[in-house]
Structure formats: structure tokens, C-alpha cells
Structure 1
Amino acid sequence: MKLLLVEDNRELSSWLKRLLNQSGYAVEQAYSGEEAGTLLLTQQYDAVLLDLTLPGVPGQAVLKGLRRKDDPTPVLIISAQDSLPDIVEHLNLGADDYLAKPFDITELEARLRSLLRRSSGRINPVLHCGAIRYESNSKRFFVNEQDLNPTPREHAILEMLMRRQGSTVSKKALCDSLCTLDDCVSAKALEIYILRLRKKLEGSGAQIITLRGLGYMLTHDTAA
């Protein structure tokens, strides 16, 4: 899952990015409304975490611009403006949820999971491939009922492959899902993550197939 975090407080932004990375999210940061608007024109995100008080273009304008284009990307407002009129106004403008600062990271993650479930039209989905089980609600992978404990980047790769199992996922799509403004993943690094995942998935009855020149595919190994 790739998120856009729009927050001008760099210390808070770095803290949130670190914690969300640990939970398996790829996070791209923007520190102004103008920067966020540019990224939203060129990139796709699973959700946007949006502060309202931003230098230059305010967060409200970013939200309006997104909805004016009929862009359905889920938006979670994170703001110190916590009055009921503020909350109602921004929900009416198209925000999907509103979390007042200061907040606990566990509440942020719970609201984010709920928002992503609603946007995907699924309630607590569980995905299977061979003996692999992915519980989207808790964002946990299990193999033969044992917790897989992938690294954040391994988690992001395996989640995308699980959601598109049986279909080819290009190297570019996988690299883009891991890429943030300050840290992009090369095709060579991706191959290393795939190799590590293959080792962790041994005995699962599932395999990651390399399709030369195309990308990767997660399939159920019928020979297992």
C-alpha cells in the first residue's frame, strides 16, 4: 500500500513515516499543498493523509482539487483544527475521515485500515495462495499457520503479488509501489527481495514465477 503524507511539520512527518513503514506501508512525503498537488497529478496512491494548515496552498484546496477531478483516492484529514464545524465542513468537501491532533498512532492505523477496507469494497478480506494466508485487517502474513514476519518492503511486494495472484505484475509496478521521494528501489534490489521471499515461502505450495521481460507472478504450485 502506497500512501501520500502531506504534513509541513518535518519532525512529525518523519515520525509518522517511520512508524507507517514499520507497519508495511510505503510512504511518500509532501511538505506543502503545492508539492502535494504536483504529486497527485503524476502518482497514484492508495490513500492520502492530509494536514490542513500548510504553507502556500492550504490542505482544503488540495482536497477540493482532488474531488474536482473526481479522483476517488481516500483522504484522511489529520489536523489540529478539531471543532465540530471544521470536521463537518471537510467531510462534506469529500474527506473520508478526520483525525484531530494530537492522536495516538494506533488510532491512526486503525482508521487508515478501515478507510482502505471501505475504499476497496471489502470487509476484513483474507487472501489465500497455497498455504499462504494474508489477513488485510491486521496486515499479517501466515505460512502453514506460522507468522511470516516479512520486512516492510517484502510485505509490500508480497501483498501486491497476493492481490494480483495469477496475473503478471511488472517490475516497474513493484518498484513504484516501494518508491518514495527520498528512496527508490532499483530493479536489482527488487530481485534480491524476490529471492528472499522465495526462501521464506518454501513449503507453502505457492511460488513466485519470473516472466522474462514482463515481471513476476504469484501462483499456486500444483506440483507441491
Structure 2
Amino acid sequence: MLAAQYPHLVLLPGLVNDSRLWQHQVSGLAEIAQVTVGDLTKGHTIAEMASDILASAPAGPFALAGLSMGGYVALEIMREAPERIVALALLDTSARPDSLIARDMRNEAIEQAESNYQAVIAALMPKQLHPMHMEDADLVSLITDMAMSLGNKIFIRQQRAIAGRIDSIPSLSLIKCPTLVLCGREDALTPIGLHQEMVAAIEGAGLMMVSDCGHLSALEQPQRVNEALIQWLAKIIH
């Protein structure tokens, strides 16, 4: 198959993640897709991030996958330009808006990030990773480096965008393209129930739960995530 026939796949990172979040997918899917990683560092709202992706995405239809915050942006893109998306993957994310408690916690993190950003990132780590992956020094270092490289200003901007996101539950039934919903079985930030809720509302959606995995599935269990994404992409490769 010629490269030009491969589907375009745009991957959307999570909070203070850069393209390294998706490094295993960029390499692992290269033979079946033209893969790019979107930049979510400039928008002040989820809607602005979605507009940035639509403006920079390949011309024509493309497949879209988002993890965590990237999933919020993917759902916004589905509302704004459903005709552009031929397949959707939602990883370790939620269609619900923040609860009041979650919003208060974000505001506390924003306030602390102004003066001690490194402590904020360190405190977030055990919420993102399965306990056994907390013992992987290279993985913890990578996640820390992504966050520190982007810095506290982007962290604060993204946290405010996440806190202000709208409820995506009412629009889930409008999604008609092949949809994969995937989560780490031990995801503490967006538990399994939130993913089951999305699957129930999206016609034909499939659910993949990955064992021994927390919130950052693309890095924690890359082989299993790649296998799921390959099966998902196979639905649009002719």
C-alpha cells in the first residue's frame, strides 16, 4: 500500500503532555496510518484547542484519538466538525464536566503551580500511574520532563480550560463513526464507569479495559493500546 493511501491519524495529548505521550503509537502505527500529534498548548479553552487542531489537521477526513484532556478536545471536535472525523478513539477520559469538588481541586493546583510547580507534578504522578509503574524510574522521569518542559504557565492554562469544559454527554448519541473507548483498569482519575457511560451512549462503540494500567495507558501499556488502535483503524482501511 502506498503511503498516500494510509488514513491520517491525529493524536491528542493530555494535560502537560507533549508528543512523547504518543511515542509508541507514532512508531507502532506508522505502517498503517499517517500519524501526527496535535498541539494543545496554545488554546485557552477546549473549544480554542479544537479549532487549533481542525486548522492544523491534514486536509480532508482523518481519524482522531485523544487521551484525557485530549479526549475532551476530541469530543469538542466531534461537535464542531463531525464530517471531518472518520473514526474516533477516546482513551482514559470522560464526557462529563468537572464536579464542584474537582474544580476546587484544580483551582488549588493552579494556585500551588504559581509558586511550586514541581511539587504539583510530583503529587499528580501517583494519580496518573498504576502503582507498579510508579517504580519505573524512566517512565516517571519522562512524564515529569514533559510537564516541566511545558512549564507552569501551560499547566495553568490547560487546567483552566479543562475546568471550563462543557458537558459532552448530550452530544454522544450524535457520534456515528467507528468509536473505540479504552481505559486502564486501574485508572484513578477517569474510572471505568465513565468509559462504560460513553460506550452506552455512542452507537456501536467498543470498550477495551487494559489491566495493570492507570491513567496514561499510551505509555503504561503501549503494546496493548497499539493492538486496540490497529483493530480500530482496520475498520476504515479498505
Instruction: For CA contacts below 8 A with separation 6 or more, give which structure has more relative contact order.
Output: 2
* Greater helix fraction, Structure 1 or Structure 2: 2
* Greater strand fraction, Structure 1 or Structure 2: 1
**TM-score (normalizing by structure 1):** 0.28
- Answer with 1 or 2: which has the greater Rg: 1
